[in-house]
Amino acid sequence: MPKAQPNPTESLTFWQDALAWRGAVMAKVLPRTALFGVYACFVSLLHLWSPWEGADPVHLGYAGGFFALLLTLRTSTGYERWWEARKLWGGIVNQSRSLAISAVEYGPRDRVWRQQFVRWSAVFCHAARQTLTGEDDAEALTRVLGDPPAARELLAARHMPSRVVGRLARLLRQAREQGGLDGFDLLVIDRERAALIEHIGSCERILRTALPRVHSIKLRRFIFLYLLGLPLALETSQVWVTPLITMLVAYLLFAIDQIGHELENPFDTGRASHLPLRAICSAIEADLMTLLADDERAGV
């Protein structure tokens, strides 16, 4: 039986991730780590001049386990928020496709109506993205709608996703009153439309509801006090050992704490590992524009 060959891509990915700088939190925690390294150097020199007895390593282990528990809780909470946001955007992807397909299949045969409905369905993701990230991307709105005045009007709206969903509702009413859209089909399509606003509302809940501030304050205060006492608790005759151990421990604590902080807001483009909303919106736009092009080629 032939032996399984190692996958070179997986091996390369390990080294790429291990040595990666972009997307990592290293740049944000190194200044703090270096600061405690300088402090540990001062303590080491003071220890040579006036020695004292270090603490029992068991106590350091107890404290380390306590911090591991708190940091794990913080990181897991941040990841839950990140993953929930990703699932909500997965729902936006599915609902946008389903909404456009339902409109094409069950809606009126009016070519202008179908084009407007699909385009407004495709622009919802861009409106939602800009609402969550605080961006102003008029070019994307104009590209999808194909109507610069409508794009400018949408960009000036107080809540762009609601404006888009409202426009879709008016198009559905028009299809019902003038295009002969069946009442049952209207309910099916309108259910898809309503689901979009539910998804963006859940995303805004994540965006506007931060984790309790008291937890972050207490955790970071404990880290600060622990790193202040760590060099004093270490007993060594080597000047360089205490700063090295202190910086290693500081880097681990700061990095895990920073990872939890980065995951708290998955929509902030300035944070590491934020959701790739531009790529998701581009995929939705491409799918719906392809659907529209296929419908027009079919001569419907």
Could you read off the pLDDT of 53-82 as tens digits, one per residue?
665 666 666 777 777 788 888 888 889 999
The percent of residues above 90 in pLDDT, for the chain, comes to 41
Nearest alpha carbon to residue 131 among 104, 157, 106: 157
Amino acid at 96: S
pLDDT computed for residue 277 by the predictor: 94
Q: Which residues of the chain have pLDDT under 50?
A: 1-2, 4, 8-10, 300
DSSP labels, 212-273? PHHHHHHHHHHHHHHHHHHHHH---S-TTHHHHHHHHHHHHHHHHHHHHHHHH-TT-TTSTT
Query: Three-state SS for 159?
Result: coil
pLDDT computed for residue 229 by the predictor: 83
Task: Give the count of beta carbons closer than 10 Å to the beta carbon of residue 185.
Answer: 17
pLDDT computed for residue 201 by the predictor: 94
Supply φ then ψ for residue 175, to 5 degrees: -65, -35
Nearest alpha carbon to residue 27 among 262, 269, 216, 211: 262
**pLDDT one-digit tens code per residue, 108-166:** 888 899 999 999 999 999 999 999 999 888 999 999 998 899 999 999 999 999 999 99
Nearest alpha carbon to residue 121 among 63, 196, 70: 196
Task: Give the count of beta carbons closer than 10 Å to the beta carbon of residue 282.
Answer: 14
Cα(107)–Cα(179) distance, rounded to whole angstroms? Answer: 8
Residues in the chain: 300
Cα(237)–Cα(228) distance, rounded to whole angstroms? Answer: 19
pLDDT computed for residue 18 by the predictor: 67
Task: Give the count of beta carbons closer than 10 Å to the beta carbon of residue 272.
Answer: 17
Amino acid at 113: W
pLDDT computed for residue 225 by the predictor: 86
